Amino acid sequence: MINEPFFTQFLKLSNFYTISAIIVLVISLLFLKYLKSKKLNFSKRMIIALILGLVIGVAIDFIGGENNIYLEYGRVEISSWYGLIGTGFLKLVQLLAIPVVFLSIIKVVIDVQGNRLRTLTGKTFFALLGTTAISAIVGILVVKLFNLNGATFAGELTEQKMETMTNVATQSFPEFFLNLVPNNIFSVMGDNGSIVSVVIIAALFAGAIRFLKVKKPKEVEPFVTLLESLKVTVNSVLTNIIKLMPYGVVALVSNTIISNGLKSIYGMLSFIGALYVGVIIMLLVYVVILIAVGANPITFYKKAFTTLLFAFSSRSSVGTLPYTLKTLENDLGVSNQTSNFVATLGTSIGMNGCAGVFPAMLGVLIASAVGTEMTFSFYMLVVVVVTVGSIGIAGVPGTATVAATVTLNGLGFGHTISSIGAVFGIDPIIDMGRTLLNVAGAMVSAILVDKWEGTFNKEKYNSPMEKSSEEE
C-alpha cells in the first residue's frame, strides 16, 4: 500500500488489489482480441465477455471483501479503472442516442403516408402500454409469490438520491408532464435524460417538413437530403463503436459487482430473486404474444440475444437503441418505419422493466409496510398508476428511480421515499434485468405493431441472420 495522495487520489493506483485487478482486465481484453482474430462469432464473444465480467467481479470482491485496504482504497480505485473502459464505452454509445432518436422520428413521420401515422401511433401506444400493464401485474404477483415485506428493505437513501426523488415527488401529475415540454432546443439536445423532449422536437420538425414537401418542395428538399446524410453517417459511426462492445461488457459487468460488493447483494437476494423471476415471467409472456402473431419465439430470442445482452450489460435502453433498430430491421423483418417509431418511443414510454415490474413491486411493498389493505381494487390502482406513470420515463441509467417515485406519489406513499434506501443500494444489479426487459418489450411491441400494420416481413424473420459488419 502506497499511502500518498498522488497514488490514492490522482493515479488511483496505490495497492496490490488495484494493480492485480487491472492486470486481470488487460488479460481478459487481450483474450477477447485474440478470439476476434480467430474470427469467433460476435454473439459468442459477447457471451464470453459476460461470463468473464461476472467471474472477475465476483472473484475480486470475494478475495478482497474482508481486507480493509481493499474496502477503503481498492474497491474505489478498481471501479475507477474499470469504469474507464466500461463507462467509457457506454458513453460512446450514448453519444449517438440523441441523434438516433431525433433522426429516426423525423424519418418515420416524413415517410409514413396519409392517415397511417395516426393508426401507427395508436397501435404503438396500445402495444407499449399494454405490455407495461401486464408487467405491473407480474410485479404484484412476484411480491406475493416471494412473500416480500417492505420493512425488510428499509434503509436511508443517499443525500443526492433523496434530493432527486423528493423533487419528483413534490410535482403534481400535470407538472410532471409539463416538464417534458421543451423550452430550449439546445439544452434538450445535450441531455440524454430528455429523450421525450427530443421526440417532441423531432415530431414538430417532421410535421413541418411534411407540410413543406407539399407547399415548398424545392426549398425543403436540401434539408431532407441533409437529414438522410446525417442518418447514414451516424449509422456508420455506430457500426464502428459496436465492434468494441465485448470489451466494454467485461468491464461494465465486473464493475457493477465490484462497486456494489457481494455483501450488499447477499442482503437483498430475496428482492433481487423476485425481480429476476418477474423478468423471466415477462419473457415468457412475450413468447405467448409472439406465438399469437405467428412469430417463432425461439427465432426471436436467438436473433435478439446480442442486443438483449448489451442492454443487460449497459443498463441503458437509450444506449441500446441504435443496436435495437439494426436488429429489428436487419434480422427480425420489421419495417424501417415501424422499427424507428416503436423502438424509439419504447425508450421513453411503457418500459416494462424500469417503469413496469419494478415500480409495481415497490408500490405493493410500501403499501404492505404501512398497513394498507391489500384488496383487488388496490392492485388495480397500482396497475393503472404504473401504466400511466410509465409515459415519459427516459431510458437511461437511473430511470427506475423516477418511475418508482411517480408510482409511490400516485399511490399516496410519497412520504415513505426516504425509507427505501436498501432497494436502491443494489440498484445497478437489478437495473441490468430491468433494462433487458425494457428492450425486449420494445422489440416485441415493434413486431406486434408491424404485424397489425401488414408490413411485417415474415420470410426475413425466419431467414438465417445476416453477417453484421462487426463480425467481419
Residue 161's pLDDT is what? 56
Report the alpha-carbon distance of residue 76 to residue 377 in Å, rounded. Answer: 47
**Grid cell of 156 as nine digits:** 436511508
**Which residues fall within 8 angstroms of residue 75, CB to CB, at 6 or more apart?**
61, 64, 258, 259, 261
Q: Is the dihedral of CA 89, 90, 93, 94 positive or negative?
A: negative
Count of beta carbons in the 10 Å neighbourhood of residue 55: 16
Q: Is the pLDDT reported for residue 367 higher than 80?
A: yes
What's the Cα-to-Cα distance from 361 to each of 384, 397, 441, rounded to whole Å? Answer: 14, 19, 18
Q: How far apart are CA 219 and CA 26, in angstroms?
A: 54
Cα angle: 161, vertex 162, 168; to 5 degrees: 95
Q: Which class does domain 115-181+261-471 fall in?
A: mainly alpha
Q: Which three cell numbers stand for residue 423?
A: 432497494
Tens of pLDDT, residues 44-77? 898 899 899 999 999 999 998 888 999 889 999 9
Radius of gyration of the chain (CA): 23
Asked whether the predicted pLDDT for residue 192 surpasses 70, the reply is no
At 373, the pLDDT band (50, 70, 90 cuts) reads: confident
Contact 15, 70 (CB under 8 A): yes
**Beta pairing partners, 411:** none
Which is nearest to 433 in space by CA: 369, 357, 359?
357
Instruction: At 68, give phi and psi (nearest 5°).
Output: -65, -35
Please, which pLDDT band fits residue 166 given cuts at 50, 70 and 90? low
Which grid cell sits at 442? 420494445
Each domain of the chain, given as residue ranges in start order, spans 5-94, 115-181+261-471
H/E stretch holding 184 = none
Residue 468 backbone phi and psi in degrees, to 5: -80, 165
Q: For residues 327 and 443, what is the distance between their CA atoms, to the nearest angstrom?
A: 9
The overall average pLDDT reported for the chain is 85
Q: Which residues contact 238 (CB under 8 A, 6 or more apart)?
A: 93, 96, 100, 322, 323, 326
Distance CA 309, CA 49 (A): 10
pLDDT 10s digits, 10-43? 888 888 999 999 999 999 999 999 999 998 988 8
pLDDT of res. 471: 47
Lookup: cell for 273: 430473486
User: What is the average pLDDT across 207-232?
Assistant: 90
Query: How many CB atoms lie under 10 A from the CB of residue 61?
Result: 23
Q: Which of 465, 447, 239 is nearest to 335 (CA)?
A: 447
The values of phi and psi at residue 391, to 5°, are: -80, 115
User: At what angle are helices 75-94 and 16-37 packed, to 10 degrees?
Assistant: 40
Contact indicator for 15, 2 with CB cutoff of 8 Å: yes
Which residue, chain included where needed, has cell 399511490?
411
At 78, phi and psi to the nearest 5?
Answer: -60, -40
Task: Quote the pLDDT of residue 173.
Answer: 61
12: left (phi over 0), alpha (psi -120 to 50) or beta: left
The grid coordinates of residue 293 equal: 402473431
Tens digits of residue pLDDT in 258-283: 987 888 777 778 888 999 999 999 99
Q: Residue 291: what are its φ and ψ, rounded to 5°?
A: -65, -40
Is residue 97 within 8 Å of 238, Cβ to Cβ? no
Stretch 425-437: mean pLDDT, rounded? Answer: 86
Residue whose C-alpha is closest to residue 433's, from 299, 296, 277, 326: 277
End-to-end CA, the chain = 44
